[in-house]
Amino acid sequence: MKGSSVSAKKGAWNKFTTAVMGLVVLSLLVPLIFSLGGLHNRAAYSGFGSDEGETALNDVKKTFIEENSTHPTKVDMKVSMKPEGTSWSNDAQRPSDKFENSMQHSHSDRILQNELKDNDEEGSDLQRPADNDETDKSCEDAFGSYCLWCKKHKEVMEDSMVKKLKDRLFMARSYYPSIAKKNQTHEKLTRELKQNIQEFERVLSDATTDADLQGSIGQKLQNMEVAIAKAEAKHIGCYHVDRKLAQILDMTKDEALFHRRQSAFLYNLGVQTIPKSHHCLSMRLTVEYFKSLPDHSVPSEIDHSDASGLQHYVIFSKNVLASSVVINSSSTYAKGSTKMVFHLLTDSENYFAMKHWFMRNSYNSATVHVENIDEHKQKYVTAGLNNILHLSASEEFRVTIGNGEDALLSPKRTEYLSVFSEAYFCLPQIFSKLKKVIVLDDDVVVQRDLSPLWNLDLEGKVIGAPEFCSVRLGHLNGYLNAGTLDLDACIWMSGLNIIDLEKWRELNLLQQYQERLQRIRDGSLPQARALSASLVTFNGLIYGLDNSWVLSGLGHQYGIDRDTIKRAAVLHYNGKMKPWLELGIRQYKAYWTRFLKRDDQYMDDCNVNR
């Protein structure tokens, strides 16, 4: 009994001892497991870690991936464009920040460790996303006339040595992770690559052009070439190098797309902003107007009567020089300029500058009446008229349409349209005594006598306008949402338009236009609603002018034949590249600038003539 009791106690003690030892072993293993599992994450967050530990962990992961993965994958490196009106968070850096952080990081070891970390994510089952939608569209479709402009002003690539250094740095970074994983067999080459990478990063952090490079850069480049050649000679898997280069390519494409969008934004800002010299001219003219006139009472009533067979031309404009060129060119080629009366409608902000300019300058005996459209609000407040009586030039639109029945598969083309803005619909009320007017946009140049248009029979139509048959109503039918349209009818354009005001009043087109506007107030842009309402309102009421009257496209289309330009009666600079802008198409500017009043003192004072 005593022996059995002792044996039982020993057995119980052995079980207890085994349990305790098991707990001790588990207490040691669990932290070790968590520490090994968290090593990669800590290195990723801090950017620092042990090369040997990281390499060992990478080898374990690589073995596991090779045993459990049957297909290679690529990591998502796409960068999103910042939406307008939003801010960037820490988790969604700006594209430029990501690029700078990857290319110009101050701590080279951190970059190399992050490249090792990226190389370990090959089993993450993240597929490379589809190419950005922008690549499926034409450049002009995505960015408009900016693409036309930048192709013609493409700068020659300079600083070829800096570019070559960056290329070699990319190659070295691509080979480094694969070489570093085999540190035991390629320890010397690993150090050599790392040293050359760090050296190139120091050079490129201080040098952005070839002139910034030191005289010893040739030897540094040679050392890098030797190191890359050694890496290429090693028997390493091409997958890692290919994957790293693919990541760099994706990042570079996204960075290029970001800068293209940024450049397109700056381009559009430039074409929509009045030049500094033009702003100076307008301010100087306004000041001089009040200094030269002692009595600034309300201007006398303008006689709009159609007496003595006068020819009445209407221009809507806020641009002094643009309207001056239109009037100067029209009166220069006119056979009877004394019969020409130009009604220049502008707003209160530019009225006094316009008034003073046309008081100072004469135009071949033609009469120029500068009128403030804001004053007509008080004189012609009819039903609904005061809601749309504000100055705006003709509306311009860029439309992209397909050439075939299948819009998804057919190649796309981009066209530029210009139609009446809402202000034009007030013409019958403003000029209530006139029967007919010719409307000229402020971005045209006249090269022929326009008097034959006054004897033109419009055959019961309201407007005589140039037709643009590259775009037909059928192309826009889904947007116009009107079932009674002639889908084969050509789009009409502004620029040069002869208007039968009596027929306009008879059909009460203003009311029809306002009713159509009310039907399509669906949250779309006001300009888009104006396009739809204008096209539908004048459907079937357009008399197509002969093609020799107007040549459009000088504000967006390159390569127009010089003989074609000379034959046209009117040149229309529709598009964003207006001739008075630095961004205008240079080969067409001479046709516009020759009608500037260069002898005016304020032109020199504001550097307009430079």
Answer whether residue 297 is part of any domain. Answer: no
Q: Are residues 23 and 140 in the same domain?
A: no
User: What Å distances lie between residue 531 and 302, 419, 421, CA to CA?
Assistant: 32, 7, 8
Same domain, 379 and 249: no
Strands 367-372 and 463-465: unpaired
Establish if 234 belongs to a structural domain.
yes
Does 572 or 600 have the greater pLDDT score? 572
pLDDT at 92: 34
Range of the domain at 22: 1-46
Say what the pLDDT of residue 136 is.
41
pTM (predicted TM-score)? 0.69
Instruction: Label residue 489 exposed, middle or buried (CB < 10 Å: 0-12, 13-18, 19+).
Output: middle
For residue 410, tell me if it sits in a domain: yes
Is position 299 within any domain? no
Q: Are residues 32 and 119 in the same domain?
A: no
| Number of separate domains in the chain | 3
Q: Which stretches does DSSP call E strand in 70-127?
A: none
- 402 Cβ neighbours under 8 A, 6+ residues apart: 408, 410, 411, 412, 413
Q: 127-135: long-range contacts (C-beta < 8 A, 24 or more apart)?
A: 127/73, 127/74, 127/76, 128/74, 128/75, 128/76, 128/77, 128/246, 128/250, 129/76, 129/78, 132/78, 132/254, 132/257, 134/257
Q: What is the pLDDT of residue 12?
A: 57
Residue 291 lies in a domain: no
Better-predicted residue by pLDDT, 63 or 526? 526
- Reported confidence tier of residue 94, pLDDT bands at 50, 70, 90: very low
User: Are residues 282 and 311 in contact, defined by beta-carbon separation less than 8 angstroms?
Assistant: no
Q: Tell me the three-class secondary structure of 47-70, residue by residue.
A: CCCCHHHHHHHHHHHHHHHHHHCC
**Per-residue pLDDT for 58 more than 80?**
no
- How distant, in Å, are the alpha carbons of 254, 329, 356, 599 from that of 282? 42, 21, 10, 16
Q: Is the pLDDT of residue 197 over 50?
A: yes
> Does residue 458 register a pLDDT over 60?
yes
What letter would DSSP give residue 360?
H
**Residue 423 and residue 494 share a domain:** yes
Predicted pLDDT at 147:
86
Which SS3 state, helix, strand or coil, does residue 570 take?
Answer: strand
Q: Copy the structure tokens of residue 349.
A: 């902000």
Task: In whole angstroms, give the CA distance from residue 174 to residue 168.
Answer: 10
3-state secondary structure of 572: strand
Residues 438 and 567 in one domain: yes
The answer to which of 309-318, 425-434, 477-486 has the lowest mean pLDDT is 477-486
Q: Are strands 463-465 and 542-544 parallel, antiparallel or unpaired?
A: parallel
The residues facing 252 across adjacent strands are none
Shared domain for 318 and 424, answered yes or no, is: yes
- 338 domain residue, yes or no: yes
Residue 292 falls inside a structural domain: no
Q: Which of 93-107, 227-241, 456-470, 475-489 bottoms out in mean pLDDT, i.e. has the lowest?
A: 93-107
Q: Which two tokens stand for residue 502?
A: 């009596």
Q: Is pLDDT of 245 > 60?
A: yes
User: Strand, helix or coil at 543?
Assistant: strand
Q: Over the chain, what is the mean pLDDT?
A: 75
* 108-135 pLDDT, tens digit each: 344 334 433 444 433 333 333 334 444 4
Q: Residue 35: its pLDDT value, please? A: 43
Looking up residue 494, the CATH number of its domain turns out to be: 3.90.550.10
Structure-block tokens of residue 20:
């305790």
Least trusted range by pLDDT, from 233-242, 266-275, 576-585: 233-242
Residues 261 and 310 in one domain: no
Q: What is the mean pLDDT of residues 254-271?
A: 90
| Per-residue pLDDT at 112 | 39
The pLDDT tens digits of the residues spanning 127-168 come to 333 344 444 456 877 788 888 888 888 877 677 888 888 888
Burial, 291: exposed, middle or buried (Cβ in 10 Å; 0-12, 13-18, 19+)?
exposed
> Is the domain of 98 the same as that of 230?
yes
> Are 478 and 601 members of one domain?
yes
% of the chain at pLDDT higher than 70: 68
CA dihedral 533, 534, 535, 537 (to 10 degrees): 80
